[in-house]
Amino acid sequence: MVDISQVQWSTRRWAEEIETRLMPGGAQDAFVNVRNDDPREFDAIFLGGGAGGRFGAAYLRAMGGRPLLVDRWPFLGGSCPHHACVPHHVFSDVAAQLLLERTFSGQLWFQDFTGKTVSMLAVIEMFRRGRTGPHAFMNFQSKEQLDLEFILGARGRIIDAHTVAVDGRTYRARHLVLATGARAKSLPIAVPDRGGVFDYATLVDDLDYEPGPVAVVVGGGKTAIEYGCFFNATGRRTLIVSRQSPLPMVRDSDTRRYLIERMEEQGMEFWSGAELTSIEGDEHGRVRAVMIDTPTGEIRIPTDFVFLGLGEHPNSEEAREALGVAVDAAGFVKVDRRMQTSVPGVYAVGDLVGAPMEMFKARKGGTYAARNIMGEKALYDLKDYPDFLHTHYEVCWLGLGEEEARDRYRHVVVLKLPPDNPDGQAVALPAGDRVMLYAMMKPQLSGFQKLVIDGASRRILGAFHVGYGAKDGFQYLAPMVRNGLTVDELGEMDELFLNPSYFIQLCRLRAGHRVLRDL
Amino acid sequence: MVDISQVQWSTRRWAEEIETRLMPGGAQDAFVNVRNDDPREFDAIFLGGGAGGRFGAAYLRAMGGRPLLVDRWPFLGGSCPHHACVPHHVFSDVAAQLLLERTFSGQLWFQDFTGKTVSMLAVIEMFRRGRTGPHAFMNFQSKEQLDLEFILGARGRIIDAHTVAVDGRTYRARHLVLATGARAKSLPIAVPDRGGVFDYATLVDDLDYEPGPVAVVVGGGKTAIEYGCFFNATGRRTLIVSRQSPLPMVRDSDTRRYLIERMEEQGMEFWSGAELTSIEGDEHGRVRAVMIDTPTGEIRIPTDFVFLGLGEHPNSEEAREALGVAVDAAGFVKVDRRMQTSVPGVYAVGDLVGAPMEMFKARKGGTYAARNIMGEKALYDLKDYPDFLHTHYEVCWLGLGEEEARDRYRHVVVLKLPPDNPDGQAVALPAGDRVMLYAMMKPQLSGFQKLVIDGASRRILGAFHVGYGAKDGFQYLAPMVRNGLTVDELGEMDELFLNPSYFIQLCRLRAGHRVLRDL
């Protein structure tokens, strides 16, 4: 182990030390940042230094408590910067950029992209090199700015509800916070053992060849679509194989239709009502083809690249065995609104406690656990939250879709852009940051947006946006909508034109009506 | 004139008709959409169909009134889609895209951009072709969706406070709303008469040659910097010549420094404390060089391209002569909080009434004029508004900068990313949509963000963002900050990670402290 409690490493030093430990055969000794001169007992050991653990520890420390973070990886931040959110955003940014390059291939200053395939391996290798930068900063910030104690690069083993063994020592605390996350679900069928089948984690860790011209994606949810759009954008034939129709979480059919149409335009194939039944390996144990059971029969697709977007499985095994914490049918640890498990003094946060597998829930769960541990009664209510995913676009939504709203309200008003195709023409609006070239030259690619309103109360019920640059806005719009934001109040705000969402100005165009009308 | 009151044109038809009228020698007859069968008098004639006029008319119509819009151009929307916001956003999007292409030149799939100059003329010609799309939609929407009456493509002449003559007829209304906008200020020195000196309007209308390798920009405000970054991004040497330091409106020195450093990295030259003293023409009357008076003496710069970003001059001459409306020293029409001018029954809105020359002020001014005309007492207060500009980035801000805050508050807390350079290294955060490749490979290019907080009340005082995708968010953040948003409330919101601004999570990392600390 390396005792770093008395030294201050630069982010560069951190990056070098982390890189060594991520390399096969590199140093494997743990980073130990524990102040042995501090006589206080730990208020909590956070087992897992991802989003929930790190934010929980930071909050507890800010409240004056003493946390200890333990993570098997040599960096804090967990799967997000290593396997999950960060690479996903790199790939989605690449997809957005390649959509632009393909659309304007050979026009203006754009290179000719005809028939061009982009190297997936090069993008992934770039990410592998780049990710140690955020890792290093996370360690630096946690130690120097957030004043956290931690042991990294060593697996913590649960001894009891107060004790964790790590790197040859045991540490005791008043409380234990389980934050061990989740991992990608695997296929229930035999998989060739020498490669070709990936999930979000193994893709960035293990890919060591340039995939061929066909990518088969299994699943129809966020991860499947997000990675599928990346594969498609690189120039590969991409099949999305799923039992149900894709993107059920986008709760508005106009919005979903816009998304699917744009993906199909880019050549993505949605094989719905279909199932991957077997994977065929070659003589080297690598994937050679898949069999897909479709409504019209079984089809064999030659491919060397299969991606699984099947959801998450909780890393709850050790906590169940060592502590007997109660879990649900899928194995996720059950917690109450204080983030307490069934075992007194033991809390759980993050992906380990189940859906939604979102950053805000992990981080906030950590802070609620910290507040309860420090003696505050803090109840975490998962309110109606805004949501997003990426296709080649950024897609955001909150509240009710049009169909749900019509089921519940008598007078539903919809403001949308472009409007229902007025005359068979694509309309060059919305225009805004990052879609200006589309607006000028390929109007149908410039996005879609929609507000769903209760005409009686004039309150916003739902909002949907396909384009770029609306994610930040949806964060702030969500609590206002929850608090009863009306079309009149929204229309009274000050837009930063050309704003990516046109919500403010669309409301203002209609707010003069005593009886609201669609637009 | 073409009477279109009884027909419904498609957006395609509108586009064709508008294009003809914008072509030299094309049809010049007005579009008249007036319902002669409606016996009611007009409640208001809006002279000018730009943002203020069109939104004012739409609001008045929605309230049940009868407006008439008159514009000399054959389309509604005014200078924004034709000369101002829309082309500016096209050029800023191009600058952002070219920053990416130059940064990653020859890496991944990016083409080799070494020494490459991008055609400005091609981008401008693309915009000239593309702008009729939004024009057509604006006419379609105004007529078919907003139910507006208008006369387009004919200059309205003010007869008196109730009467306007247009296209050979006179129209009377209870009120007149002046919305004739503003135009770019010209230089107070002699300018060659055959071209080479442009402002935002003439650039898109008149440029008919490929500018040479040097662009000289006069001014240090938003327009100068926004267009300057576009010229720079195309590969031209770009001088920003201004008396004062650039970007004084960005009221936070960290943020301003980040912006200027990034622009200088791209080769932009800031010639501050300097003044353009003369422009030299060649034998054809085109610009050949400029003389610039600098603190170290007069310097001659050969160039064929000069761009003026000197601010705006109001189009108030006719209203002053015909009606005698009171104006300020700069010629802007004076209005009260009801948007009334000094002449009873006459209102004025938009750029014509002076700063801020922003879309929200024009549009909202129009709706306030409409409400007063329709008998409501509606007072327009220009509250503390969010603001933005573009460099190669999108830059947003609201409230107080750090220095101003420290002048007014005893305990100012700052949360920023990246933090003060911890060890001479660039930090790979913030990362987020549209900066992921920078975050992975060129960390210092991935943006800057900052929250300024009053430690005593825990209220947010100011917010600053350099990057992409924060404009929508600043719109909604602004009223919350005005209403006293605290660091605790912000930290309690649900982020859509990786959100372009990290404000929510930065607050959450510090909110546990009873006495807030910097981050």
A126 at B interface, C-beta within 8 A: yes
Question: What average pLDDT does the segment B23-39 reach?
Answer: 93
What percentage of chain A reaches a pLDDT higher than 90? 95
Contact A90 B495 (CB under 8 A): no
A85 is catalytic: yes
Distance, in Å, from the CA atom of A272 to the CA atom of A220, rounded to the nearest integer, reads 8
Three-state secondary-structure class, residue B293: strand
Chain A: give the shortest CA distance to residue B86, in Å: 8
DSSP A396-465: EEEE--HHHHHHH-SSEEEEEESPS-SSS-----S--TT-HHHHHH-GGGS-EEEEEEETTTTEEEEEEE
- Residue B212's nearest CA partner among B224, B195, B193, B199 is B195
Cross-chain CB nearest to B476 (options A59, A469, A473): A473
Tokens of B271: 């010639």
Residue A141 in contact with partner chain B when CB distance is under 8 A: yes
pLDDT score recorded for residue A426? 77
Q: For B328-351, what is each residue's pLDDT tens digit?
A: 999 999 999 999 999 999 999 999
Nearest chain A residue to B128 by CA distance is A440
Helix axes B85-103, B222-233, angle to 10 degrees: 40
- For residue B444, the distance in angstroms to the closest alpha carbon of chain A comes to 12
- With a cut of 90, say whether residue B211 has pLDDT above it: yes
Per DSSP, B292 falls in state: E
Interface contact A394-B433, CB threshold 8 A: yes
Give yes or no for residue A424 having a pLDDT over 70.
no
Are B500 and A140 inside 8 Å of each other by CB? no
Domains of chain A: 2-81+130-183+313-373 (3.50.50.60), 186-308 (3.50.50.60), 393-510 (3.30.390.30)
**B163 and chain A: CB distance < 8 Å anywhere?**
no
Cα angle B137, B140, B145 (rounded to 5 degrees) comes to: 115
* Annotation marks residue A135 as catalytic: yes
Residue B441 Cα distances to A20, A85, A88, B109, angstroms: 19, 17, 16, 14
Token digits of residue A268: 């993505």
Nearest CA in chain B to A13: B423
Q: What would the pLDDT profile of B119-152 be if each residue is shown by its tens digit?
A: 999 999 999 999 999 999 999 999 999 999 999 9
Q: Which residues are paired to B67 by β-bridges?
A: B44
Predicted local confidence at residue B424, as pLDDT: 61
B255-288 pLDDT per residue, tens: 999 999 999 999 999 999 999 999 999 999 999 9
> Under a CB-based contact definition with an 8 Å cutoff, are residues A420 and A470 in contact?
no
Establish how many alpha carbons lie within 13 A of residue A459's alpha carbon, considering only the half-sphere containing its beta carbon. 14
Share of chain B above pLDDT 70, in %: 99
- CA gap A439, B130 in Å, rounded: 8
Q: Which of A116, A122, A499 sits opposite B108 (nearest CB)?
A: A122
Strand segments, DSSP code E, in A219-350 are 237-242, 269-272, 275-281, 287-294, 297-302, 306-308, 312-314, 346-348
DSSP string, B107-119: STTPPP-TT----
Pick from A140, A434, A514: which is nearest to B434 by CB? A434
Q: Cβ of A208: how many Cβ atoms within 10 Å? A: 9
pTM above 0.90, yes or no: yes
Rounded to an integer, the average pLDDT of A430-436 is 95
> How do strand B448-454 and strand B412-417 relate by DSSP bridges?
antiparallel
According to DSSP, the β-strands at A149-152 and A31-33 are: antiparallel
pLDDT score of A434: 97
Q: Is the CB of B471 less than 8 angstroms away from the CB of A423?
A: no
pLDDT of residue A483: 97
Task: Give the separation between CA B177 and CA B161, rounded to whole angstroms.
Answer: 9
Q: Determine the distance from the C-alpha atom of residue B219 to the mean position of all C-alpha atoms in its chain, rounded to a whole number.
A: 15
> Which residues on chain B are in Cβ contact (under 8 Å) with A431?
86, 89, 134
What does the pLDDT read at residue A269? 98
Contact B472 A469 (CB under 8 A): yes
Pairing verdict, β A275-281 and A287-294: antiparallel
Q: Is A229 exposed, middle or buried (0-12, 13-18, 19+ CB in 10 A)?
A: buried
Cβ–Cβ contact A245 with B under 8 A: no
Distance CA B236, CA B319 (A): 42
Q: Which residues of B touch A513 (CB under 8 A)?
A: 62-63
Report yes or no: A166 and A157 within 8 Å, Cβ to Cβ.
yes
CA dihedral B463, B466, B471, B474 (to 10 degrees): -10
- What the block records as the tokens of A238 is 């991409």
Contact A219, A186 (CB under 8 A): no
Q: Which amino acid is at A480?
A: M
- Number of neighbouring beta carbons within 10 Å of residue A357: 17
Whole-Å CA distances, B306 to B187, B192, B299: 11, 11, 15
Q: How far is B227 from chain A, CA to nearest CA, in Å?
A: 15
pLDDT above 90 as % of chain B: 95
How far is the C-alpha of B434 from the C-alpha of B424, rounded, in Å?
Answer: 25
Q: Do A360 and B428 touch (CB under 8 A)?
A: no
Instruction: Name which of A466, A494, A501, A507 to mutate to probe chain B: the one with the most chain B Cβ atoms within 10 A of its Cβ.
Output: A494
Nearest Cβ partner for B494 among A98, A360, A443: A360
Dihedral Cα A216, A220, A223, A225, nearest 10 deg:
70
Bridge partner list, B217: B240, B307
The ipTM estimated for the assembled molecules is: 0.98
Is B444 in the A-facing interface, judged by CB distances under 8 Å?
no
Angle (CA) A517 B3 B6, round 5°: 45
Count of helix runs (H) and strand runs (E) in chain B: 16, 24
- State pLDDT tens for residues A133-143: 999 999 999 99
- How far apart are the two ends of chain A, measured CA to CA in Å? 65
Q: How far apart are CA A62 and CA A56, in angstroms?
A: 10
The per-residue pLDDT for A422 is 65
Mean per-residue pLDDT of chain A:
96
Write out chain A residues lying below 8 Å of B357, CB-based: none
The two structure tokens encoding residue A200: 């979000």
Beta carbons of A63 and A142 less than 8 angstroms apart: no
Q: Using the beta-carbon criterion (under 8 Å), do A498 and B86 form an inter-chain contact?
A: yes
The shortest CB-CB distance from B431 to any of A134, A419, A435 is to A134
* The pairing of beta strand B149-152 with beta strand B31-33: antiparallel
Q: Is the pLDDT of residue A427 over 90?
A: no
Any CB–CB contact under 8 A between B419 and chain A? yes
**Catalytic site includes residue A396:** no
B299: distance to nearest CA of chain A, Å?
33
Structure tokens given for B53: 């006029």
Provide the token pair at A169.
């020592």
Task: Tell me which of A85, A187, A429, A498 is the catalytic residue.
Answer: A85
CA distance A320 to A327: 8
Q: Which of A47, A68, A69, A80 is catalytic?
A: A80
Nearest CA in chain B to A110: B111
Of residues B11, B126, B480, nearest to A441 (C-beta): B126
Place of tokens 């640059």: A469
Residues 6+ apart with CB under 8 A from A13: none
Ramachandran assignment for A166, one of left (phi > 0), alpha (psi -120 to 50 degrees), beta (any other): beta
**Residues of B recognised as catalytic:** 76, 80, 85, 135, 497
Q: How far is CA A13 from the centre of its chain?
A: 29
Give tens-digit pLDDT for A54-107: 999 999 999 999 999 999 999 999 999 999 999 999 999 999 999 999 999 999
Q: Is B378 on the interface with A (CB under 8 A)?
A: no
Scanning A454-473 for CB atoms below 8 A from B yields 468-473
Which among B96, B434, B441 has CB closest to A126? B441
Task: Choose among A313, A312, A293, A311: nearest CA to A301.
Answer: A293
Residues 323-362 of chain A with CB under 8 A from chain B are 358-361
End-to-end CA distance of chain B, in Å?
Answer: 65
A229 carries an active-site annotation: no
Of A423, A473, A508, the CB nearest to B10: A423
Is-cis flag, bond preceding A188, omega within 30? no
Q: Look at residue A166 and give its three-state secondary structure.
A: strand
Q: Which amino acid is at A429?
A: L
For residue B185, is pLDDT > 80? yes
At residue B469, φ and ψ (nearest 5 deg) are 85, 15
Contact A433 B94 (CB under 8 A): no
pLDDT digits (tens, 9 = 90+) for A193-233: 889 999 999 999 999 999 999 999 999 999 999 999 999 99
Q: Is B474 on the interface with A (CB under 8 A)?
A: yes
B205, B180 in Cβ contact below 8 A? no
Residues belonging to chain A: 519
- Comparing CB atoms, the residue among A440, A494, A511 nearest residue B385 is A494
Q: How far apart are CA A170 and CA A159, in angstroms?
A: 9
Mean per-residue pLDDT, B166-193: 95
CA angle B237, B238, B240 (to 5 degrees): 155
Nearest-Cα distance to chain B for A312, in Å, is 18
pLDDT in tens, B59-73: 999 999 999 999 999
Instruction: Give dist(CA A194, CA A208) in Å, integer.
Output: 11
Give the C-alpha separation, B470 to A342, whole Å.
Answer: 42
| Residue B196 backbone class (left: φ over 0; alpha: ψ -120 to 50; beta: rest) | left
B contact residues 46-105, partner A, Cβ 8 Å cutoff: 55, 58-63, 80, 85-86, 89-90, 92-94, 96-98, 100-101
Answer yes or no: do B11 and A425 touch at CB < 8 A. yes
**pLDDT of amino acid B422:** 65
Q: What is the pLDDT of residue A296?
A: 95
- By C-alpha distance, the chain A residue nearest B396 is A496
Residue with tokens 């981080």: A363
Beta bridge partners of B242: B272
DSSP annotation string for B381-412: ---S--EEEESSSEEEEEE--HHHHHHH-SSE
Distance between CA atoms of residues A426 and B136, nearest Å: 11
